[in-house]
């Protein structure tokens, strides 16, 4: 009797559709997670971009901040203020300012008298020159006349170009006889942004956009202006318009991050289109929906296969009596096949385990290699303090056993100092990234010198320069700004290494310090060629240098001398009797660890 198998029934797709509706709400938390992740990712990237741009903008401003203060003592400029109608002095001053602009990259430099009239300018030979124009309405003029460093951003009324202005008073003793102004072109900073979906903009204290990657946003107000602000805009004319139009941005369309620049009163913001997040979230939702659909299809296939399997069992049950012999033979064949399959599965599992084990060993070897490299680098710097800590700890244990608590406490204090030293090994580079406070403070000289030496250690070792230190064990506290002191020490040590490049081995660098008569004297000596007679006379003059143009502009010693004088100190240049240069840095003694109240800016 031949039995005809029945056709398999179709799977219950209605059940699958109902299950899909039940699982569909899972896409909502997936959407929320994806939005949170991509917003955090975009915020992290934009934070780095914002930090880089702010650092570049501040670097551009700081490059020119001290120019008007340094150059105000040039004889050619003082001659114009003394005799403004003499053609020869005017011509010399114009050409000097033009040369300075060419060397420093400043947009324009010009000299004004106490009434705000421009006497000399670097653009004297151009159609939009400033000569003869009066800029007393600009706030930087009044700030400079009051003895402060004038700062101002605005669009030129003559050149129609945007720029940032630095102004400093030119003095004759205590009397202000003129104002020297340097204008810096900031247009190039907008070209650094490139064509990206993110938009960058800089707003001033009025909330008006002054720099932006979108030209149509420029000089628009991000908030309503008060009556006093509008009157100030009309008076000082910082923008091409006296009534900035409002910039209406949809807050739901942008993800905004802002960073303030206190010294200029600016706010730097980066705006990322929310579509960047929405696009990624849509992709994640699409993938999630597709995954859910695939799961549903797989469930449908499993149900179909299960039904086929049940139908086949039913068919075999009905045909068992007729096909007993054939079933027995097939069963035997299936058992043999099953045995072979089990053997193959075991072999595959063993091979998979071996593969996983080999991969784990490779990963472990890679980890050990990285750990070895890191250990070699870190242990080189930390082995000595770690060994000392271990020795002090063992001694402290013995001292405690002998009830010598004071000696044990002394060992614990030394351990604390060594851990601080280990932290300073890692953090000494961060000290140079910190911004200086405006007021002078008590600064420890030896740690500042150690940080400066650490930054130049690689170069010193590459040049095989022997360092001879003669510094007192007691900490010498001086009146200074912490970052500015490090800047001066780093500049002076770098100049010493530059001088030693011209000398064959052996190369030596001597450092010594002492305190006497209310001052701290730090001497830096090298066995290089020393100063020539002309260099000793003109080393403090801006733009005087014995190096090539690619090696420096000749402003290093001039800036160092200005910073030291502002702190009430003195920088003395000389040649050592045994050869080489000898620099003596005199600084005021400060109370250990006590901040001073005198303003650095006022002393400058």
Residue 566 — pLDDT band, cuts 50, 70, 90? confident
pLDDT 10s digits, 19-76: 667 666 767 787 778 777 877 887 888 888 888 888 888 888 888 888 898 888 899 8
For position 577, what pLDDT does the model report?
87
Average pLDDT of the residues in 494-517: 87
Whether 582 has a pLDDT exceeding 70, the answer reads yes
Which domain covers residue 104, as residue numbers? 66-187
pLDDT 10s digits, 134-151: 988 889 999 999 989 999
pLDDT 10s digits, 466-489: 899 989 988 899 988 777 788 788
Euclidean distance between CA atoms 554 and 498, whole angstroms: 13
Q: Domain holding 511: CATH number?
A: 3.30.565.10
421 within some domain: no
For position 544, what pLDDT does the model report?
59
Q: Which residues pair with 467 in a beta bridge?
A: 509
Average pLDDT of the residues in 101-110: 90
Whether 168 has a pLDDT exceeding 90, the answer reads yes
Instruction: State the chain's mean pLDDT as an integer.
Output: 79
pLDDT 10s digits, 240-286: 888 888 888 888 888 888 988 888 888 888 888 888 777 887 888 77
Average pLDDT of the residues in 82-90: 88
- Give the end of a domain, one of 156, 187, 218: 187
Tokens 């006590």 belong to which residue? 594
Who has greater pLDDT, 482 or 548?
Answer: 482
Q: With beta carbons less than 8 A apart as the criterion, state whether 16 and 225 touch.
A: no
Q: For the chain, what is the domain count?
A: 2
338 within some domain: no
Euclidean distance between CA atoms 202 and 213, whole angstroms: 10
For position 247, what pLDDT does the model report?
85
Who has greater pLDDT, 543 or 32?
Answer: 32
392 within some domain: no
Residue 462 — pLDDT band, cuts 50, 70, 90? confident
Q: Domain holding 175: CATH number?
A: 3.30.450.20
For position 141, what pLDDT does the model report?
92
545 within some domain: yes
By percentage, how much of the chain surpasses pLDDT 90? 10
For position 431, what pLDDT does the model report?
44
- Give the end of a domain, one of 129, 155, 187: 187
For position 120, what pLDDT does the model report?
92
24 within some domain: no
Torsion sign over Cα 204, 209, 214, 218: negative
Whether 554 has a pLDDT exceeding 50, the answer reads yes
Whether 158 has a pLDDT exceeding 90, the answer reads no
Report DSSP state, residue 438.
S
- Length of the chain equals 604
117 within some domain: yes
Of 150-159, 456-465, 537-546, where does mean pLDDT reach its minimum?
537-546
544 within some domain: yes
Euclidean distance between CA atoms 252 and 547, whole angstroms: 56
Average pLDDT of the residues in 201-216: 86
Residue 174 — pLDDT band, cuts 50, 70, 90? confident
Tokens 């090696």 belong to which residue? 551
- Give the end of a domain, one of 151, 167, 187: 187
For position 182, what pLDDT does the model report?
93
0.75 exceeded by the pTM?
Answer: no
583 within some domain: yes
Residue 521 — pLDDT band, cuts 50, 70, 90? very high
Whether 169 has a pLDDT exceeding 70, the answer reads yes
With helix as H, strand as E and coil as C, how does 129-193 read? CCCCCECCCCHHHHHHHCCCCEEEEEECCCCCCEEEEEEEEEEECCEEEEEEEEEECCHHHHHCC
Euclidean distance between CA atoms 212 and 290, whole angstroms: 41
Euclidean distance between CA atoms 2 and 529, whole angstroms: 114
Whether 433 has a pLDDT exceeding 90, the answer reads no
Residue 513 — pLDDT band, cuts 50, 70, 90? very high
**Residue 277, both tokens:** 């997040």
pLDDT 10s digits, 351-384: 888 866 764 564 344 334 434 433 443 454 455 5
């Amino acid at each position: 009797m031949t039995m005809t198998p029945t056709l398999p029934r179709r799977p219950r797709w209605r059940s699958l559709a109902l299950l899909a509706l039940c699982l569909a709400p899972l896409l909502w938390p997936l959407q929320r997670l994806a939005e949170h992740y991509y917003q955090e990712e975009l915020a992290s990237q934009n934070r780095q971009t914002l930090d880089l741009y702010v650092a570049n903008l501040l670097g551009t401003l700081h490059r020119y901040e001290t120019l008007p203060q340094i150059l105000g003592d040039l004889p050619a400029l003082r001659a114009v203020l003394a005799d403004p109608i003499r053609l020869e002095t005017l011509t010399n001053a114009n050409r000097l300012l033009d040369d300075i602009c060419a060397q420093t990259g400043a947009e324009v430099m010009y000299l004004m008298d106490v009434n705000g009239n421009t006497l000399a300018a670097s653009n004297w030979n151009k159609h939009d020159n400033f000569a003869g124009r009066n800029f007393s309405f600009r706030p930087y003029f009044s700030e400079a006349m009051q003895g402060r460093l004038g700062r101002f951003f605005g669009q030129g009324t003559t050149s129609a170009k945007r720029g940032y202005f630095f102004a400093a008073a030119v003095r004759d003793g205590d009397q202000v006889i003129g104002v020297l102004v340097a204008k810096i072109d900031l247009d190039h900073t907008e070209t650094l942004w490139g064509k990206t979906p993110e938009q960058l903009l800089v707003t001033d204290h009025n909330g008006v956009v002054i720099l932006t990657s979108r030209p149509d946003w420029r000089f628009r107000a991000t908030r309503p202006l008060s009556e006093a602000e509008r009157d100030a805009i009309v008076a000082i004319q910082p923008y091409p318009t006296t009534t900035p139009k409002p910039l209406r941005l949809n807050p739901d369309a942008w993800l905004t991050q802002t960073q303030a620049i206190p010294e200029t009163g600016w706010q730097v913001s980066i705006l990322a289109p929310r579509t960047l997040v929405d696009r990624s979230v849509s992709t994640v939702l699409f993938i999630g929906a597709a995954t859910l659909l695939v799961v549903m299809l797989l469930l449908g296939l499993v149900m179909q296969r299960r039904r086929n399997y049940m139908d086949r069992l039913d068919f075999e049950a009905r045909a068992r009596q007729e096909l007993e012999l054939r079933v027995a033979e097939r069963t035997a064949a299936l058992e043999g096949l099953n045995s072979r399959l089990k053997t193959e599965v075991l072999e595959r599992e063993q091979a998979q385990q071996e593969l996983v084990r080999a991969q784990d060993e490779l990963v472990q070897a890679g980890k050990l290699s990285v750990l070895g490299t890191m250990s070699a680098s870190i242990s080189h710097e930390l082995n000595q303090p770690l060994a000392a800590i271990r020795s002090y700890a063992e001694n402290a244990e013995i001292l405690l056993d002998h009830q010598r608590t004071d000696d044990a406490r002394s060992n614990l204090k030394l351990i604390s100092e060594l851990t601080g030293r280990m932290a300073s090994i890692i953090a000494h580079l961060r000290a140079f990234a910190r911004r200086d406070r405006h007021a002078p403070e008590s600064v420890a000289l030896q740690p500042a010198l150690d940080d400066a030496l650490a930054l130049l250690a690689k170069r010193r070792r590459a040049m095989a320069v022997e360092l001879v230190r003669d510094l007192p064990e007691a900490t010498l506290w001086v009146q200074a700004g912490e970052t500015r002191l490090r800047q001066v020490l780093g500049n002076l040590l770098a100049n010493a290494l530059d001088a030693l490049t011209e000398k064959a081995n052996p190369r030596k660098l001597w450092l010594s310090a002492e305190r006497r008569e209310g001052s701290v004297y730090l001497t830096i000596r090298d066995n290089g060629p020393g100063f020539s007679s002309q260099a000793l006379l003109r080393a403090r003059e801006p733009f005087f240098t014995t190096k090539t143009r690619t090696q420096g502009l000749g402003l290093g010693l001039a800036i160092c001398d200005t910073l030291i004088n502002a702190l009430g100190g003195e920088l003395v240049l000389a040649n050592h009797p045994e050869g080489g240069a000898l620099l003596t840095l005199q600084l005021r003694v400060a109370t250990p660890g006590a901040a001073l109240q005198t303003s650095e800016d006022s002393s400058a």
